[in-house]
Amino acid sequence: MKFSVSPHIEQVHFPPISEVKTWIAGRTFPQERPLIDLCQAIPDYPPAPQLIDHLRSLLDDPTVAKYSPDEGLPESRTAIAAWLARRYGAGPSAAEVCLTVGASQAFWLALTVLCQAGDEVVVPLPAYFDHPMALATLGVKCAGIPFDPTRGGQPDLERIAAAITSRTRAILLVTPSNPTGAILPAATIRALFELARQRGIALILDETYNAFVPGGAPHDLFLDPHWRDHFIHIASFGKTFALTGYRAGALVASERFLHHALKVQDSMVVCAPHLTQHAIRYGCEELDTWVASNTTLMQRRHDAFRAAFDIAANRFELVASGAFFAWVKHPFPGSTGREVARRLALEANLICLPGEVFGSGLEGYLRLAFGNITEAQIPAAVARFIELS
């Protein structure tokens, strides 16, 4: 008799980006109509040249090939704490930072410390697909708040409050949102924090795209002397420093919380890659100007995409956008997002993600990741939607 797999795993969705890329596997694309990839959020530009030079200089150091402490190199944790303090007006101590293998692993650490099977996490929809996948794998209920297209991707605090039960362990959001791109105002984040405090649960914010928030600090929670009691910050430097393949993440929480997280860290990965930690440190200490220029570039790209996409000839409706993403409603009643996304892949040589992978009831939507195409490519991308519509 064959061994069986976990029932939780059987119910978990297959990785959506991997699924979409199977649709075009083995195909070749003509030079006059190349593939346009709006599927995965990867900066189209390379890491800063000075960062690459710095990493190259470290390769002869034998210690870089060894383990670091589980929580990460002290100098890298200090650099992250200082970077967050500059961005938010206040930040954690170095002891409240744990380096992780991307933001995804930071999220897993947070979940395994907070939750056990049968617990619940409140998640406004659409949700970044990796989060419900992780929750389902652990047997934790994803209490999804249905999407309201009239809100432009902003959460409904009353509905979030109503969804909290005795089994709820956390409220989870991504800001800027993946998949809608919507940026949560600081006042909304403060209100969510106060709700978490009142109900004795955690507020988990995945702030992977925080470097692409124009203007001032994304929120003021690090200024609150009691932030450690109810706030968990998920960080990624992969997008910030164009290091997605380096898997550059961090979990920021109280020392008490990290003490328990390290039990999981040691049994899961031991530590983040040593070279990646050096890359993060250099980026946090030396690349503020480079990051700021990319924030401006991405905002310009976002504005150009909105202007090109939101025209009468295009029947795809732009519902929300920001940072790296656009969330659009497709014009084909009765068709699922997967069906429309597959048509775009096969008929228009353009790949994107179907809405239903971000939560139930979202078959009418698509997620477009315009952050990984240049501004010059935007007109060609939009033209392919117009062709299909």
User: Residue 339 is part of a domain; what is its CATH number?
Assistant: 3.90.1150.10
Mean predicted confidence (pLDDT) in 175-193? 96
Mean pLDDT of the chain: 95
pLDDT at 12 over 90: no
Residue 180 domain-assigned (yes or no): yes
At residue 1 the predicted structure's pLDDT band, cuts being 50, 70 and 90, is confident
Domain boundary residue, one of 286, 311, 335: 286
Cα dihedral: 301, 307, 308, 309 (round 10): 100
**The pLDDT value given to residue 51:** 98
Do 275 and 306 fall into the same domain? no
Task: Measure CA of the first residue to CA of the last residue in the chain; give whole Å.
Answer: 51
Mean predicted confidence (pLDDT) in 20-29? 91
Residue 153 domain-assigned (yes or no): yes
pLDDT at 308 over 90: yes
pLDDT at 371 over 90: no
Residue 2 domain-assigned (yes or no): no
**Cis ω before 333 (30° cut-off from 0):** no
Do 223 and 354 fall into the same domain? no
To 5 degrees, how large is the angle CA 230–CA 238–CA 13? Answer: 75
Tens digit of pLDDT for each residue in 209-268?
999 998 888 999 999 999 999 999 999 999 999 999 999 999 999 999 999 999 999 999
Residue ranges in 24-101 assigned as alpha helix (H):
49-58, 74-88
What is the greatest pairwise CA distance in the chain? Answer: 61
Mean predicted confidence (pLDDT) in 204-210? 96
At residue 8 the predicted structure's pLDDT band, cuts being 50, 70 and 90, is confident
Residue 86 vs residues 82, 91, 189, 291: alpha-carbon distances, Å? 6, 8, 19, 13
Do 263 and 341 fall into the same domain? no
Residue 1 domain-assigned (yes or no): no
**The pLDDT value given to residue 6:** 80
Residue 321 domain-assigned (yes or no): yes
Do 107 and 179 fall into the same domain? yes
Do 231 and 341 fall into the same domain? no
**The pLDDT value given to residue 5:** 84
Express as a percent the part of the chain with pLDDT over 90.
89
Do 368 and 222 fall into the same domain? no
Tens digit of pLDDT for each residue in 309-359?
999 899 999 999 998 899 999 999 999 999 999 999 999 999 999 999 999
Nearest to 123 by CA among 88, 152, 164: 164
Residue 107: CATH number of its domain: 3.40.640.10
Residue 238 domain-assigned (yes or no): yes
Q: What six digits make up the tokens of 137?
A: 């794998």
pLDDT at 295 over 80: yes
Domain boundary residue, one of 270, 286, 302: 286
Do 111 and 234 fall into the same domain? yes
Nearest to 179 by CA among 41, 12, 384: 41
Which range (161-175, 206-220, 284-298) has the least confidence?
Answer: 206-220
20 vs 151: CA distance, rounded Å: 28
**The pLDDT value given to residue 129:** 94
Domain boundary residue, one of 269, 286, 303: 286
User: Structural domain tally of the chain?
Assistant: 2
pLDDT at 48 over 90: yes
- Is residue 154 a contact partner of residue 176, using CB atoms and an 8 Å limit? no
Do 159 and 41 fall into the same domain? no
Do 210 and 296 fall into the same domain? no
Do 177 and 221 fall into the same domain? yes
pLDDT at 88 over 80: yes
Do 299 and 281 fall into the same domain? no
Do 278 and 329 fall into the same domain? no
At residue 13 the predicted structure's pLDDT band, cuts being 50, 70 and 90, is confident
Residue 232 domain-assigned (yes or no): yes
Residue 227 domain-assigned (yes or no): yes
Give the structural domain span for 327: 7-46+290-388
